[in-house]
Amino acid sequence: MAQPALGMQIRQLEQELGVSLLSRHSRGVSPTRAGQVLYERACEILRLVDETERQVAAAGRLEREGIVLGLTNGFMNMVGRSLILQSRRDLPAVNLSLVEERSVVLVDALERHEIDIALAYEVHERPGVLRVPLVEEEMLFVSAPRKSGGEPLPPTIEFSELATHALVLPGQRDGVRQQVLATAKRLALDLNVMLDVSSISMMKNMVAHGDAAAVMPYGNAIDDIERGRLAGRRIVNPALKRTLYLVRSLRRAPFKYEEELLELLAGASLEFAEKLGPLARRLDALDQPLAATLAALQHRAQHKP
């Protein structure tokens, strides 16, 4: 559309609504608060229209509802298989696709509507996103196992002792890295971070060969710890903990089988917490239906003044 015609339509819309939608200045334009509200609501309406068309067409063809679920590596390692098998058994009308990524990548993909729902860690409050805390999880200090004939490793390690080890940590935006560095800064500790590595398999390989140690969730290293390739110890004074959230977009239309899917995810989260044992604390949201919790959050968000 030509710019003059577009400008005329915007002005007509402003007159019709009785508000200014754009702030016009020498550098161009930017949305007013009213303009931002209109934009967000219009996007929501358009997505609802698309979703309605898709659901109507699917119902007419008796197709399975496609849902893309984002999971972290640790959660996938520990309960991914049982989640897939249970979804096939209990949700035959749903085609559940799984995406495995770091939490920060999952939330970005959720906001771009590339995935529909996610289980991710340390999700901060942000516009257009609903989040429900499910499980608090304690992270481990992971190192190479003690060589044969040596003294066994103690079950715990003081956080201050991390400063005596060369560390390999995940990339700059990773929540585990940020928590480790923030805790060290608070305690005035200077950590020796020798390398930033975004690949979990590369981190574990370096640790197993004794090149460095790492801080990571139990789920990321569970197979190597059980095989004796890596050793995991609880960190104390202070412990490092993070929270697992159920996350979905406020602007996405409800799933046809939303209640059943949320029940499935709640069960998987309970299984995850049980497998973590003393490293996990289940939160209150798992003691009530997730569908009701999400509906209440959505109602509050949509009616926020």
Residues 217, 244: contact at Cβ < 8 Å? no
Q: Which residues pair with 71 in a beta bridge?
A: 100
Question: Is pLDDT above 70 for 234?
Answer: yes
Which two three-digit tokens encode residue 18?
Answer: 């009785």
**pLDDT average, residue stretch 245-268:** 90
Q: Give the whole-angstrom CA distance, residue 244 versus residue 272.
A: 11
- Beta 192-196 vs 214-216: how paired, if at all? unpaired
Residue type, 222: I
pTM for the whole thing?
0.77
Q: Output the pLDDT for position 305.
A: 60
Confidence of residue 46 (pLDDT cuts 50, 70, 90): confident
The candidate with the shortest Cα–Cα distance to 207, out of 235, 178, 169, is 169
Q: Quick count: other Cβ atoms within 10 Å of Cβ 109?
A: 18
Q: Output the pLDDT for position 255.
A: 84
Q: What is the pLDDT of residues 134-164, one digit of tens each?
A: 999 999 999 998 765 567 888 999 999 999 9
Give pairs for 146-154: CB < 8 Å, separation 24+: 146/231, 153/231, 153/233, 154/233
Residue with tokens 């090149």: 211
Confidence of residue 7 (pLDDT cuts 50, 70, 90): confident
Q: Output the pLDDT for position 131.
A: 93
Q: What is the pLDDT of residues 82-120, one digit of tens each?
A: 999 999 999 988 999 999 999 999 999 998 889 999 999
Phi and psi (nearest 5°) for 71? -135, 155
Confidence of residue 69 (pLDDT cuts 50, 70, 90): very high
Question: Is pLDDT above 80 for 128?
Answer: yes
Q: Output the pLDDT for position 100.
A: 94
| Average pLDDT score, the chain | 89
Order of all β-strands in the sheet with 214-216: 156-158, 231-236, 140-143, 214-216
Domains of the chain: 64-136+243-302 (3.40.190.10), 140-239 (3.40.190.290)
Phi and psi (nearest 5°) for 251? -95, -5
Q: Output the pLDDT for position 149.
A: 57
Q: Give the whole-angstrom CA distance, residue 72 versus residue 91.
A: 22
**pLDDT average, residue stretch 252-258:** 84
Q: Output the pLDDT for position 60.
A: 58
